[in-house]
Amino acid sequence: MVSNKERARRAIDAMTALGFSKKETTPVLKSLLKLFEQNWEPIEDECYRALANAILDARDRPKGPEHDSHRARMVAPEEDHHQPSTSLVVHGGPCDLDSETEAPRIKRPRTNSNIFSADHSIDPQLFPSSSTAAKERAKQMIDEEFQHAVFLREPKPEPDVDVAQSFQDAQVGVISHPFNTCSSGAAGPLALCPPNQNQTEISGNKGIPVQHCRTRTSSPSFVERKDSMGKQPQNRGSLSNHTAVMHNTETGSADECTEAPYLHTVVASSSSTMGDVEMSIKCNIDPSKFRMPSLETIFRMVEDKCLRSYKNLPPNFSVGSMINEICQCVAQLANDRTAEYTVQSDSFDNCRNSEKESVLVKPIACVNSGGVKNKSVEDPFILETSENGQEYPNVAQRLALSQVRSTHDAPDISKGEEKVRISVVNEFSSEKCPPSFYYIQRNTVSPKAYDNISAGRIGDEDGCAGCFGNCLSAPIPCACATGGEFAYTPEGLVRTEFLEKCFSVNLFPEKHHKFFCKPLERPRNEASPEPCRGHLIRKVIKECWSKCGCNMQCGNRVVQHGITCNLQVFFTQEGKGWGLRTLDELPKGAFVCEYVGELLTNTELRERTSKKTHKVGYTYPVDLDAACDSEGVLKDEEALCLDATFYGNVGRFINHRCYDANLVGIPVEVETPLHHYCHLALFTRKKIEAFEELTWDYGIDFDDDKHPGKPFQCLCGSRYCRGRRRHRNRGKAAAKQAVVEETRG
């Protein structure tokens, strides 16, 4: 049992850590002891919160004949005069309650450097006496008051702690505790944690989460929460848990804290029958200088840094989700050492081990029913690192891979990323599913491409003031309508005229304006890249977006809703590899899917393809021609393209067909606050029957021997095929004319 002397010493030390002198603390402590009838618990509870408050009250209390230095009134000074009878006076000597009806007024701590505010006194009626009930209620009120504050006051760091260094030494720790209490997702309370208590519970009210604090002995401190009923809150894993835990600087005793004050913020948590896992940030701090930023701010900054540092990130990359994922993985791996875990872990180990020389992405195998080995397991993509060690996929990407769906074991190749299930079948060979890639529903953006699009070259960040309700039914089209008319019909189909104009640009590029990339200035001895062959200026659909005044059901929002038709990836009979088909009949002008991949600059794509180190049979880059600037001129490194080789959606399975393909690609501005560029959306050019293969004219000139990428041997089967030798000399104009007529007819 700890002696009173020791308890007093600890209390004084705790206060010293907060910047209160021993001289100041001692009389107030005595008063409180008296008040609580020599019961230490209410004083020690909540990291000596009551004591800290009482000292502050003593400080705040105006000095006067009736207020000697040993008297601390737990009342806000401004109320003191008006409600003297309701305040509790604590004497420095033996406990001397002025009145049985007086009660302590507990103040809310100030949130910034000056810490404890005196602006929030608690109704004294709630503390009618110093009875146990009153003390309980007082304790509860303290909790309520402390829910949202950072409770720091000039703590004394360890003498040998370099404060500046301590800031940099903010650590993230994973704390696992296999029991059933858990953290809530609600904005959480902050606690001042006593240095010598094994567990302190701060009760809350109205369902507001409460917390326990454990101080460190050999293991790190942690904070956990449960609701006022002691149940686990539902919204686990939210990232707003925010807890400040402060330790004193005491050293020596095994059960006492041995480190400088630190701020302890719970970042994420995961709860399951397997146990709870939390991740927290611990900062050694100088509270006079330190203000804990919000987690959202921190995450945003980290995400921004990742984007800049690494080549590529999925657009929905979120540090917060990643940390949550880590918690879940810790819980899972700690409990479940299955074979599957070993396999996956190995692939990550491979990535890690080969980080220096090359990065190995080992796609996860298909589940093969017939015992057929998936080629992709044996032939992983090998991607060389660039000079600066950053090549696809890099560290951040590998971390992000857990969020991106691999295509193994896929009755739905999108692994639930899309609203509809996209099945995979192979009726013609033993390959059960396509070589692995990472399924993404939205483009990822490389930092360079990001710089280009965030420069606002393509889109206009401002929303349209004229949008309201469903823009398509407005009597006068708003500014989102391209050329004064919306491209979509009320049924969500692209209007025939618009569709034909888009098709015509593809078919007769020579009749349409082009713009040309300017190559980068290069040193004389360096080979110049191939001169730009020109990018077509295409018709663009601009969809309404979050800054528009209309609602999500507005008819001028189609592509942004994602895939809605039933598609299937299938193995083609003609030798084109995998292809995409529709399972339902589709009307003319229907949106099928976007071509999704990694958004790169042309320069980045060239660098990537020049390495040609990956063992990928098919290539998937597509120019984003619509990415023109107002001057009609682009620098080479500004022109954008999409590469779906490693990351992509079902669009990457659409094969080429010369001229009479049944899909047409239309650039669509689907804006987000961060991205303003044209997405490449594929719409049906004509009515398509169920089970018909979906095709698209890549615009390849098979006669062009100078083309940097060797075109494949076309097996499209079209009567107008440009790839078949015997057709090459036939008049292209005649072929185009035939297609136009066929389209009209």
Q: How far is the CB of 429 from ligand SAM (least distance, A)?
A: 11
Taken as a whole, the chain contains a residue count of 745
CA 720, CA 660: separation in Å to the nearest integer?
8
Is residue 646 a contact point for ligand SAM (CB under 6 A)? no
Whichever of 512 and 727 has its CB closer to ligand SAM, that residue is 727
Where do we find the tokens 């304790």?
139
- Of 225 and 576, nearer to ligand SAM (C-beta) is 576
Q: In 3D, which of 99, 118, 139, 104 has the Cα closest to residue 28?
A: 104
Beta carbon nearer to ligand SAM, 173 or 577 = 577
Instruction: Report the nearest approach of ligand SAM to the CB of residue 676 (Å).
Output: 26
User: Of these, 84, 492, 577, 699, which contacts ligand SAM (CB under 6 A)?
Assistant: 577
CB 566 within 8 A of CB 414: no
Near ligand SAM by CB under 6 A: residue from 619, 636, 692, 736? 619
Nearer to ligand SAM, 267 or 694 (CB): 694
- Whole-number Å distance between alpha carbons of 101 and 127: 7
Spell out a b/e string for 228-239, using b for 16 or more CB atoms within 10 Å of the CB, else e.
eeeebbeebbbb
Which one, 463 or 577, has the nearer CB to ligand SAM? Answer: 577
The answer to whether 685 touches 503, Cβ cutoff 8 Å, is: yes
Among candidate residues 606, 675, 673, the one with its CA nearest the CA of residue 445: 675
Name the pairing type of β-strands 663-669 and 640-643. Answer: unpaired
Residue 717 CB, shortest distance to ligand SAM, in Å, is 8
Helices of type H across 455-584: 496-507
Site for ligand SAM in 156-215 (CB under 6 A): none
**Sheet with strand 535-536: strands edge to edge:** 535-536, 514-518, 633-635
Q: How far is the CB of 522 from ligand SAM (least distance, A)?
A: 29
CB-based contact 420:456 (threshold 8 Å)? no
- Residue 363 or 579: which CB sits closer to ligand SAM? 579
| Region near ligand SAM per CB under 6 A, out of 65-73, 496-504, 612-620, 732-740 | 612-620
CB of 339 to ligand SAM, least distance (A): 30
Least distance between ligand SAM and beta carbon 398 (Å): 23
- Contact segment (CB under 6 A) with ligand SAM among 95-103, 528-536, 582-590, 707-715 equals 707-715
Least distance to ligand SAM, CB of residue 550, Å: 34
**Alpha-carbon separation of residue 717 from 575, 660, 723, 728 (angstroms):** 11, 10, 10, 14
Distance of alpha carbon 386 from alpha carbon 389, whole angstroms: 5
The residue to which tokens 């910047």 are assigned? 19
For residue 504, the tally of other CB atoms under 10 A from its CB is 17
Among 448, 557, 576, 722, binds ligand SAM (CB under 6 A): 576
Among 146, 653, 702, 720, binds ligand SAM (CB under 6 A): 653
Q: Which residue has the tokens 């998936």?
A: 374
Considering the complex, state which of residue 140 and residue 619 has its C-beta at the smaller distance from ligand SAM: 619
DSSP type of residue 430: S
DSSP track, 621-684: EEE-TT---TTSEEETTT-EEEE-SSEE-GGGGPEE-SS--SEEEEEEE---SS--SEEEEEEE
Task: Provide the b/e sequence for 160-196 (b: ≥16 CB within 10 Å).
Answer: ebebeebeeebeeebbbeeeebbbbbbebbbbbbbbb
714 is an interface residue for ligand SAM by CB under 6 A: yes
Closer residue to ligand SAM, CB minimum distance, 86 or 655:
655
CB of 724 to ligand SAM, least distance (A): 10
609 is an interface residue for ligand SAM by CB under 6 A: no
With respect to ligand SAM, which residue has the nearer C-beta, 377 or 413? Answer: 413
Q: Does 656 bind ligand SAM (CB under 6 A)?
A: yes
Q: Is residue 620 a contact residue for ligand SAM (CB under 6 A)?
A: yes
Residue nearest to ligand SAM (CB): 577
**Maximal CA-CA distance, the chain:** 112
Q: Minimal distance in Å, beta carbon 570 to ligand SAM?
A: 10
Q: Does 567 bind ligand SAM (CB under 6 A)?
A: no
Told to check if 299 binds ligand SAM by CB under 6 A, we report no
DSSP-derived letter for residue 469 is B
Neighbours of 393 (CB within 10 A): 25
**639 phi/psi in degrees, rounded to 5:** -65, 140
In the complex with ligand SAM, the residue whose CB is nearer, 237 or 434, is 434
**d(Cα 373, Cα 430) in Å, to the nearest integer?**
9
Q: Which is nearer to ligand SAM, 259 or 697 (CB)?
A: 697
Distance CA 16, CA 23 (A): 10
Element (H, E) at 609: helix 602-611
Site residue total, ligand SAM (CB under 6 A): 16
The residue (of 488 and 646) whose beta carbon lies closer to ligand SAM is: 646
Q: Measured from the CB atom, is 434 or 589 closer to ligand SAM?
A: 434
Strands (E), 167-261: 171-177, 200-202, 210-214, 222-226
CA distance 84 to 53: 18
| Residue 715 binds ligand SAM (CB under 6 A) | yes
Rule CB under 6 A: which of 434-493 touch ligand SAM? 434
Contact present, 589 and 683 (Cβ < 8 Å): yes
Least Å distance, CB 538 to ligand SAM, is 20
Judged by CB under 6 A, does residue 426 bind ligand SAM?
A: no
Q: Out of 10, 247, 652, 675, name the contact with ligand SAM by CB under 6 A.
A: 652
Minimal distance, residue 279 CB to ligand SAM, in Å: 39
The angle subtended at Cα 736 by Cα 732 and Cα 738, nearest 5°, is 115
Least spacing, CB of residue 721 vs ligand SAM, in Å: 8
DSSP state of 346: H
Nearest to 321 by CA among 411, 403, 257, 431: 403
- What would the two tokens of residue 571 be? 């193995």
Query: Which of 48-56, 303-311, 321-329, 615-623 is the region at the interface with ligand SAM (rule: CB under 6 A)?
Result: 615-623
Given the complex with ligand SAM, which of 316 and 619 has the nearer CB atom? 619
Interaction of residue 682 with ligand SAM, rule CB under 6 A: no
The least distance separating ligand SAM from the CB of residue 571, rounded to whole angstroms, comes to 8
3-state secondary structure (DSSP) of residue 379: coil
Q: Is 716 in the site for ligand SAM (CB under 6 A)?
A: yes
For ligand SAM, which is the closer residue by CB, 157 or 579?
579
Q: Please identify, among the stretches 51-59, 148-156, 205-213, 653-661, the one whose residues bind ligand SAM according to the rule CB under 6 A.
A: 653-661
Select 20 or 620, whichever has its Cβ closest to ligand SAM.
620
Smallest distance, ligand SAM to C-beta of residue 645, A? 9
Stretch that binds ligand SAM, among 214-222, 256-264, 575-583, 670-678 (CB under 6 A): 575-583
The three-state secondary structure class of 350 is helix
| Residue among 116, 381, 712, 720 that touches ligand SAM (CB under 6 A) | 712
Q: Which two tokens stand for residue 609?
A: 């393809």
Beta bridge partner(s), residue 678: 669
Q: How far is the CB of 572 from ligand SAM (least distance, A)?
A: 7
Which pair of structure tokens corresponds to residue 161? 């702690």
Kindly tell me which of 50 and 694 has the beta carbon lying closer to ligand SAM: 694
Which spans of this chain sit near ligand SAM (rule: CB under 6 A)? 434, 576-579, 618-620, 652-653, 655-656, 712, 714-716
